[in-house]
Structure 1
Amino acid sequence: MEDVGIILDLAVAFGIATLAGLVADRLRLPVLIGYIIAGIAIGPQTPGFSVNDDGIPQFATLGVAFLMFALGVEFSFKQLLEVRRVALLAAAIQMPGTAAIGYVAGQLIGWGASESILLAGVFAISSSIVMIKLLLNRGEATSPQARYGFGLMVVQDLSLVPMLALLPVLEGDSENLALTVGESLLTAAVVLALVVVLGVRLVPWVLYRVARSQSRELFLLTVVAIALGTALACHEAGLSVALGAFLAGLIVSESEFDAQVLSEIIPLRDLFSTLFFVSLGMLLEPAIVIEEPLLFAVAAVLLIGGKALFGAAAFVITRINPVVAVSAGFLTAQIGEFSFVLAGAGLEGGIIDGGQFAFIISLALVSIVASPMLVAVAPRVGALVGRLPHIVDPTVEALEATATGVELRRHIIICGYGRVARVLGGALERRGVAHVVIDINAATVRDLRGRGVNAIYGDAGSHAVLERAGIHEARTLAVTVPDLVVASAATRAAREMNQNVHIITRAGVQGEVSTLRTDGASEVVQPEFEAGMEFTRYVLRRLGVSSRELDVLTSRRRARFYDHADDQLYSDDLG
């Protein structure tokens, strides 16, 4: 008879995860919380049916690899290099700070020195998997806070190598420690260098040869082999599967096949990453929380509060935009898969016992569940931080070099200069309408100024930058950036500075419309909806509908869409 055990486990895991995810979505909670609850329900520590606790975690590892690989494809080496200074400085502040909190937490709950030091290491590392899932759900995977957050995550991940190498000290075996640490670091460095050098040269060549076959199956198989092969190579060198997969994605991002690779890998990413969160729920031991609620609460508050505080402070000190800084910092306020690796190694080495390992796992789950709430309030907290008198906006330093020197009155301000803004800017140029562009990309600003366009380098949410752009005299502000955090900050700041300026803000999704209106937007534009309306006009015109009737129908539908944004109303009825 066929062994269908793993099929049964997967069917149950996906089925319960779907139900729990739907309930979480109905309650307006992130679906990943539903997935974790599903894992608790089918885990070995709760009554009722439980799945095999060996099979699901193995599939979950695939989810980690595909999730990080897809993220790497969306990023690039250039983007990581752009944030290296901020990421390294933030890591130098955040990691020692959170490690100190971890040690204090260990002492407060009665752990010994060795166990507390291990807990310090666990606290110092955040979960890149949780962070990318949150960003994907919010449509912010390529936002500034994502770039800074992942820059910090790469540093944290690399720090896992010396942490693991130093564990023998806590185990009481420090003989040849320097040699062990040196070998680990050298091996990791050599493998990373080989992966990058060979990958940059070999991967595009392989993808081109496979793409010429015009076989989607072969292309997908090649992509999966590259992702998992690189992840495995890094794992064998003492690095993590996640870092290896992320590195493979970065290599692919430099080729002309990045868009197709991403389209092929996304279904696998979404499918298997669900199992990662289900497997986390399966690890929870409710008895740990029930038996020692006070100690657990103290440790949880120190973990979540301390990581949020040090994470935000670390990025604020680097003098990036306060809203982006707090958002990036709050993204790191949890522990996850890398902390599990460190804690597991400590368990194997006898540094902690099974109960303490379960305690760490339970702390991790609580911090992961709290993460979506922290990320949601981060922009508001960042806006408050930005109002503090001692917070200096770094863009002020760059204004002298980037100011246009042209007096502007009754002009248009364009925030961001992507594809949407280029269309708007071109139309204004052709009509001779005075306008100024604000953009955070120095190369874009330099190019615009070279063409004679008034352009300022800086964050559009900065009062100083808006002041230099002439917000008090502007007639219209067009916020074209697709990122909600940046768009909200720019809209709020502009409205605070000029109650009469007409603000048109871009929404990423329909649910952001009401938020942006609350922030002060006069009008909100959702590009996908507007594109749908244009398709509708073209089709109905071909069907003989008059231009006058089309104007009435589309105006009515547009009003219904933007007036009922809170209801998430997508009606197919144009009438």
Structure 2
Amino acid sequence: MEDVRLIVDIVIALGAAAIGGLVAQRLGLPALIGYILAGLAIGPNTPGLVADVDRVQLLANLGVALLMFGLGVEFSLSEVLRVRRAALLGGAIQIPLMILLGTAAGLAGGWTLGAALLLGGAFAISSSIVALKTLLGRGEMESPQARVALGLGIVQDFSLAPMLALVPVIAGERGGAFGIAQSLLISAGVLIAAFVLGTRFVPPLLRIVARSGSRELFMLVIVAIALGVALATHAAGLSLGLGAFLAGIVVSESDFEEQVLADIIPIRDIFATLFFVAVGMLIDPALLLAQWPLVLGLAFVLVAGKLLITGGALLAAGVDHRTATLAAVFMAQMGEFSFVLASAGLEHGLIEITEYGTILSVALCSILAMPLLVAISPRLVSIAERLPGVARQERLAAGPPPPPAPAGGHVVICGFGRVGAEIGAALDRWHQPYSVIELNPAIVRDLRARGIEALYGDAATRVELETAGVPTARTVAVTTPDLLVTEAVIRNARALNPAIHVIVRAPGTGDVRGLTAEGADEIVQPEFEAGLEFVRQVLGWQGIDAAETEELLDARRQTVYGTA
């Protein structure tokens, strides 16, 4: 009967998670909130259907291991290097300051020093999943704030490994400075061993398994590596999660990273769901209701602290005020890996179950605050722009003053990334005058060195558009994927020059109607246009008449854009 009871618990947990996740997504919330609330509903602290916490927790440990393994496999040094100054310097400032803030908040709330330090560690880590889901929903994945937030998120996630290594030390299982040094030396030794395994032994093994052509065998070997390395590090006194993370780094050294992720993600997601359900099962609503002032107070400190500290750290790292503020907004919550850290603290006796529940509740409050923060983000950007020294620092970063604006009839390009650079190259070929508004100081300096009027600033502001010559320009091209900026440019450009021709980029096809209503003359949706080009190429190779193909493409554009 015990075996059957385990199956019953799994069915209850997964069924509740499916319902909770579906309801959360219908409400526009992250699915993990639904999973945690589902665990609360089937936990021992609420009436109704109850699953066994210990049995679900046993399976949830696999979820932690597979989550950390996936993090190790996905760890992208190249993504960090793309925004290395913002991610590395910003992270080096933000993570310690958030740990200090969380520790101070915990001590003020009457927690022990060890518990407060764990709270500080949880404060330091944001939810990359929530941030990416929000960015995807807003069509901003190609924006500067997305790149900075992603890079900073990777650095934060990576910081979890040493935090997990130090949990037993802080809990008193290894004493004093010697214990800290011992843990760090063990972690370094295991990391070096993992690197040696990754470069010398694992890739040949995976190649041998891959040649067998058996996907099942390949998956078995991957899971065995993940759990085997996790158990080895656990035997060395480190956590299972840290070991699984190192196993992921081992596998990422092979040529099969993408295949590993494709095979492991379905299993990982199932067991990770059980982890979030188990997290919810440990929450006691009665205790939390009794501590609601503490929960709300800590949530406010967390969100406000992350906005100020993350934004300030990115500004100190040389990021412009708009990108820094928006990246801080998207990272202003506690993440899923904070739950992993809290679970490790509970396991080692560093925190009590009440404090564990408080950390989870603070995390939920911070995630629920995301829609409000996004809604007020334009106002936060405006506040950041007026901070002392920000405007001067950004002017200095942009280099010498720009050349004079073109006399008239020119093009104003808002955003000089890949799309804007293509427009500029075409205009250069035909010797057409143009000016540029850009937030990347390096790009601005390069353009000014070439004699092009390039302004460092936010294209959404009327003063920047006026300085760029919009009142006398013939065309304004808005290449940014940021919908709010695009709408502001349309309104301000029309106010400055009602006759100007406005060409904009739409983040998604669903944004076309709104941009047309704002006053855009031409709209380009990159993914839709890429799809049409694929259609043209495929039909051409299939021998379809070119004129008929163009007729089809025109009809599709008419449907999406409302114009041929």
TM-score range, shorter chain: 0.7 to 0.9
- Correspondence list, 1:368-517, <5 A: 368-371=367-370, 373-374=372-373, 377-378=376-377, 381-388=380-387, 390-392=389-391, 396-400=395-399, 410-411=410-411, 413=413, 415=415, 417-418=417-418, 472=470, 476=475, 478=477, 484=482, 488-489=484-485, 492=488, 499-500=496-497, 504-510=503-509
TM-align CA RMSD: 5.0
For structure 2, the 5+ residue unaligned runs are: none
Change (3 A) 1:50 1:86: same
* Paired residues of 1:105 and 1:116 also in contact (CA < 8 A): no
After superposing the two structures, state which structure 1 stretch, 464-473 or 528-537, moved more: 464-473
Deviations 1:530-553 (A, max 9, x none): 444556677699499956863663
- Equivalent in 553, 556, 560 of residue 555 of structure 2: 553
Change (3 A) 1:389 1:47: same
For structure 1, the 5+ residue unaligned runs are: 563-575
Matches of 1:464 and 1:246 in 2, distance apart?
48
Local SS of the residue matching 2:413: strand
Matches of 1:239 and 1:544 in 2, distance apart?
64
Change (3 A) 1:23 1:389: same
| Structure 1 residue 203: Cα displacement | 4.6
1:529 corresponds to 2:528: yes
1:158 corresponds to 2:157: no
Change (3 A) 1:515 1:311: farther
Name the structure 2 match of 1:44: 44
The TM-score with structure 2 as length reference comes to 0.75
| Structure 1 residue 471: Cα displacement | 6.7
Matches of 1:208 and 1:454 in 2, distance apart?
52
Change (3 A) 1:262 1:207: same
After superposing the two structures, state which structure 1 stretch, 219-228 or 491-500, moved more: 491-500
Residue type of the alignment partner of 2:385: G
Matches of 2:467 and 2:199 in 1, distance apart?
41
Local SS of the residue matching 1:49: coil
Identity of aligned residues (%): 41
* Paired residues of 2:83 and 2:148 also in contact (CA < 8 A): no
Residue type of the alignment partner of 1:145: A
- Equivalent in 133, 137, 151 of residue 147 of structure 1: 151
Change (3 A) 1:225 1:376: farther
Matches of 2:277 and 2:42 in 1, distance apart?
9
Change (3 A) 1:153 1:313: farther
Residue type of the alignment partner of 2:556: T
Aligned residues: 549
- Correspondence list, 1:53-452, <5 A: 53-67=53-67, 69-70=69-70, 76-81=76-81, 83=83, 85-87=85-87, 89-91=89-91, 93-106=93-106, 108-109=108-109, 111=110, 115=112, 118-126=115-123, 130-136=127-133, 138-139=135-136, 140=141, 143-155=147-159, 157-162=161-166, 164-168=168-172, 177-229=176-228, 256-335=255-334, 339=338, 353-371=352-370, 373-374=372-373, 377-378=376-377, 381-388=380-387, 390-392=389-391, 396-400=395-399, 410-411=410-411, 413=413, 415=415, 417-418=417-418
Deviations 1:262-292 (A, max 9, x none): 4434434444443333333222210012223
Matches of 2:196 and 2:445 in 1, distance apart?
32
Change (3 A) 1:549 1:448: same
Local SS of the residue matching 1:413: strand
Residue type of the alignment partner of 1:6: L
After superposing the two structures, state which structure 1 stretch, 434-443 or 99-108, moved more: 434-443
Local SS of the residue matching 1:3: helix
Matches of 2:40 and 2:105 in 1, distance apart?
26
Change (3 A) 1:167 1:53: closer
Local SS of the residue matching 2:3: coil
* Paired residues of 1:399 and 1:456 also in contact (CA < 8 A): no
The TM-score with structure 1 as length reference comes to 0.74
* Paired residues of 1:32 and 1:277 also in contact (CA < 8 A): yes
* Paired residues of 2:96 and 2:124 also in contact (CA < 8 A): no
* Paired residues of 1:122 and 1:335 also in contact (CA < 8 A): no
| Structure 1 residue 122: Cα displacement | 1.0
Name the structure 2 match of 1:30: 30
Matches of 2:312 and 2:171 in 1, distance apart?
29
Change (3 A) 1:518 1:270: farther
Deviations 1:158-182 (A, max 9, x none): 24434542343xxxx99x5221111
